[in-house]
């Protein structure tokens, strides 16, 4: 939970901000008057100017609240280039957050700050003034103006403007100063900015007991798929819903729960036990067709209902063992169904009901745990992101780092069932920059969750939900994991037997090693 003071930062009404679009780069940081400041290089060069004349200026964090993602990248780059002996400091509770910026800017009218002064210097103590002589100036090669909520940099021929070769910034002295200057306030602001993003979703929080970092601010939370270019997503109004005899509130084992009748279950898993008992002859034919790979019309055969009432008091419906083990697609009722919202065939569509925490793991980056005990078969959440074409996914994978494939999820469940759907033309969900908390779930070769296909539109095999359910009882606080490669048991055993040889094989040098620590760990995230 954010404290009131922290919220004051998050919601702070800063009248003047530096726009990230104006920032070409963050060059350095320093501590001044107890406040961390960042040196930015402005993008606003007239075409005639050379980079050596770029305007650079120092800013307090509160002027940079829209640039936190850039500051985060600056800190990450700095971290990766610093010597291993340099450890990130954890922010201390005393790190003050500025409550208001108004006193800094007086009456809020546009003002101009010349190159000799600090960009935030309208109120200075005598000790500041004394120390200013030995400090670097606040603005180089131009002046800053405050107009219409923005800090704006402009070139100036004014006599007082300090001229430097901007390509020589930061100077070695600045770098040395930065090396020993705290970044705790910046890290705290970054974390608060991420927590503000988290607030978009209910029952979600951030925890970091390892260091003072936050997940990437380039990531945004969404509550539904976003469709990318050339992706067609049908309007839910066009979905085919169930009709008579399904109706709302019919009680158990009738209506949608009587799977022979509910039209939404037309393509669901056949209830073979029931079929054998009810119609042995038809069962034989069905079995024969299945073995031969022949087509058989299953429309009127009894189906399996995917959920059952939980035996644990207070827990919602859970996935029945058949679906949990067989991974058969789950078909839920939809907006056009006659049954209405109380129908028991609506679990995933109601969204996440369990509280999740995104937390920093020791060796796998961010991970996710649930704050409550989960029971076997309990729904957790879906995987969200931008739905893109397979071609676009290939392009992004080739252009991105090797981690990219961990965020790409092919919607290829029905590829073998539908003629015009192939691996080449199926859609892919990219959850790297937009998604839900499940995008932070790490891989494990012996996972406690699994991903399942959930369709609300039986006639559209291209777009469906990827839903995570608990495959075991999972105590509160246990990291949630799933198998990125979704291996079957035979493939798993082969990979485990070959693991040590595979780790030594130079051909695997570029592969991402798996740190899941499971007994059956296969050694790598991806083959």
Ligand X SMILES: C[S@@+](CC[C@H](N)C(=O)[O-])C[C@H]1O[C@@H](n2cnc3c(N)ncnc32)[C@H](O)[C@@H]1O
Q: Does 478 engage in binding with ligand X (CB under 6 A)?
A: no
Applying CB under 6 A, which of residues 263, 346, 443, 450 lies at the interface with ligand X? 443
Alpha-carbon gap, residue 320 to 378, rounded angstroms = 10
3-state secondary structure 378-415: CEEEECCCEEEEHHHHHHHHHHCCHHHHHHEEECCCCC
What residues numbered 353-382 form the site for ligand X, per CB under 6 A?
Answer: 364-367
Closest distance to ligand X from the beta carbon of 442 (Å): 3
442 is a contact residue toward ligand X (CB under 6 A) = yes
How far from 415 is each of 15, 36, 526, CA to CA, in Å?
A: 53, 54, 21
Return the residue matching tokens 């606080």: 477
- Minimum distance of ligand X from residue 515's CB (angstroms): 4
Q: Which of 365, 367, 353 is nearest to 441 (CA)?
A: 367
The least distance separating ligand X from the CB of residue 215, rounded to whole angstroms, comes to 6
Query: Shortest Cβ distance from residue 185 to ligand X (Å)?
Result: 23
The closest of 41, 12, 179, 216 to 101, measured between CA atoms, is: 12
* Residues annotated as catalytic (active site), given as ranges: 383, 484
CB of 401 to ligand X, least distance (A): 9
Q: Which residue, 93 or 401, has its beta carbon nearer to ligand X?
A: 401
Binding pattern for the stretch 398-427 against ligand X, x by CB under 6 A and - elsewhere: -----x--xx--------------------
> Residue with the closest Cβ to ligand X?
365
CB of 517 to ligand X, least distance (A): 8
Helix (H) or strand (E) holding 291: helix 280-292
**Contact 17/149 with Cβ under 8 angstroms?**
yes
Q: Which of 311, 313, 304, 295 is nearest to 264 (CA)?
A: 304
B/e letters for 278-313, b = 16+ CB within 10 Å, e = fewer, are eeeeebeebeeeeeeeeeeebeebbbbbbbbeeeee
**Residues 6+ positions from 406 with CB-CB distance below 8 Å:** 443, 484, 512, 525, 526
Q: Toward ligand X, which CB reaches closer, 65 or 451?
A: 451
Site size for ligand X, by CB under 6 A? 17
Binding mask 155-194 for ligand X (x = CB under 6 A): ----------------------------------------
164: helix, coil or strand? coil
Task: Compare residues 457 and 479 and give the one whose CB is closer to ligand X.
Answer: 479
Residue 365 or 477 having the CB closest to ligand X: 365
Report the chain's terminal Cα–Cα distance, integer Å. 40
The answer to whether the peptide bond before residue 202 is cis (omega within 30 degrees of 0) is no
Which CB atom, from 413 or from 439, has the smaller least distance to ligand X?
439
Q: Which is nearer to ligand X, 116 or 487 (CB)?
A: 487
What is the spatial distance between Cα 72 and Cα 193, in angstroms, rounded to a whole number?
Answer: 11
Using the minimum distance from each CB to ligand X, give the nearer residue, 444 or 471: 444
Q: In what order do the strands lie in the sheet containing 112-113? A: 112-113, 143-147, 150-154
Among 274-282, 449-457, 458-466, 513-521, the segment contacting ligand X (CB under 6 A): 513-521
| Residue 479: CB minimum distance to ligand X, A | 10
- Judge whether 115 and 139 are in contact, CB under 8 Å: yes
Nearest Cα neighbor of 372 from 205, 195, 192 is 205
Examine residue 516 and tell whether it contacts ligand X (CB under 6 A): yes
Distance separating alpha carbons of residues 13 and 18, to the nearest angstrom: 14
Q: Which of 16, 305, 379, 440 binds ligand X (CB under 6 A)?
A: 440
Shortest Cβ 439–ligand X spacing (Å): 6
Q: Which stretch binds ligand X (CB under 6 A): 49-57, 329-337, 462-470, 509-517?
A: 509-517
Judged by beta carbon, residue 281 or residue 398, the one nearer ligand X is 398
- Measured CA to CA, the distance from residue 253 to residue 112 in angstroms comes to 74
Interaction site with ligand X (CB under 6 A): 364-367, 403, 406-407, 439-440, 442-444, 512, 514-516, 525
């Amino acid at each position: 939970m954010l404290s009131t003071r922290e919220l004051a930062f998050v919601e702070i009404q800063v009248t003047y901000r530096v726009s990230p679009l104006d920032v070409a780069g963050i060059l350095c940081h320093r501590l001044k008057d107890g406040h961390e400041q960042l040196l930015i290089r402005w993008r606003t060069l007239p075409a005639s100017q050379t980079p050596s004349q770029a305007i650079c200026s120092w800013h307090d964090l509160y002027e940079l609240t829209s640039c936190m993602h850039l500051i985060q990248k600056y800190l990450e780059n700095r971290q990766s280039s610093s010597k291993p002996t340099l450890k990130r400091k954890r922010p201390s509770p005393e790190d003050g957050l500025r409550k208001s910026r108004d006193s800094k800017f007086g009456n809020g009218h546009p003002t101009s700050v010349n190159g000799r002064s600090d960009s935030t210097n309208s109120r200075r103590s005598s000790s500041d003034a004394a120390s200013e002589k030995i400090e670097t100036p606040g603005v180089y090669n131009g002046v800053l103006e405050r107009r219409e909520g923005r800090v704006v940099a402009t070139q100036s021929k004014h006599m007082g403007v300090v001229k430097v070769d901007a390509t020589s910034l930061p100077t070695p002295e600045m770098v040395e100063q930065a090396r020993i200057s705290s970044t705790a306030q910046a890290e705290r602001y970054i974390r608060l900015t991420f927590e503000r993003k988290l607030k978009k979703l209910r029952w979600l929080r951030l925890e970091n007991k390892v260091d003072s970092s936050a997940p990437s601010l380039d990531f945004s939370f969404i509550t539904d798929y976003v469709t990318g270019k050339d992706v067609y997503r049908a309007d839910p109004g066009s979905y085919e819903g169930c009709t008579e005899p399904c109706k709302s509130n019919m009680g158990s084992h009738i209506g949608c729960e009587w799977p022979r009748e509910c039209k939404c279950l037309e393509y669901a898993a056949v209830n073979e036990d029931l079929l054998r008992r009810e119609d042995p002859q038809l069962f034989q034919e069905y079995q024969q067709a299945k073995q031969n790979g022949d087509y058989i019309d299953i429309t009127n055969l009894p189906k399996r209902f995917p959920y059952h009432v939980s035996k644990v008091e207070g827990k919602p419906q859970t996935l029945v063992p058949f679906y949990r083990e067989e991974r058969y697609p789950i078909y839920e009722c939809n907006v056009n169904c006659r049954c209405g919202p109380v129908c028991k065939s609506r679990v995933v569509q109601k969204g996440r009901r369990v509280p999740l925490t995104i937390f920093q793991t020791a060796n796998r980056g961010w991970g996710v745990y649930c704050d409550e005990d989960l029971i076997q078969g309990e729904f957790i959440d879906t995987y969200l992101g931008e739905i893109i074409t397979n071609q676009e996914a290939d392009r992004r994978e080739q252009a991105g780092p090797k981690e990219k494939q961990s965020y790409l999820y092919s919607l290829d469940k029905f590829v073998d069932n539908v003629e015009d759907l192939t691996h080449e033309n199926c859609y892919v969900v990219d959850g790297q920059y937009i998604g839900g908390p499940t995008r932070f779930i790490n891989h494990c070769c012996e996972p406690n969750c699994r991903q399942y296909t959930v369709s609300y539109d039986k006639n559209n095999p291209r777009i469906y939900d990827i839903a995570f359910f608990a495959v075991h009882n999972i105590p509160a606080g246990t990291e949630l994991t799933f198998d990125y490669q979704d291996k079957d048991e035979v493939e798993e055993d082969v990979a485990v037997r070959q693991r040590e040889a595979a780790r030594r094989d130079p051909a695997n040098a570029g592969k991402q090693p798996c740190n899941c620590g499971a007994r059956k760990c296969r050694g790598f995230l991806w083959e």
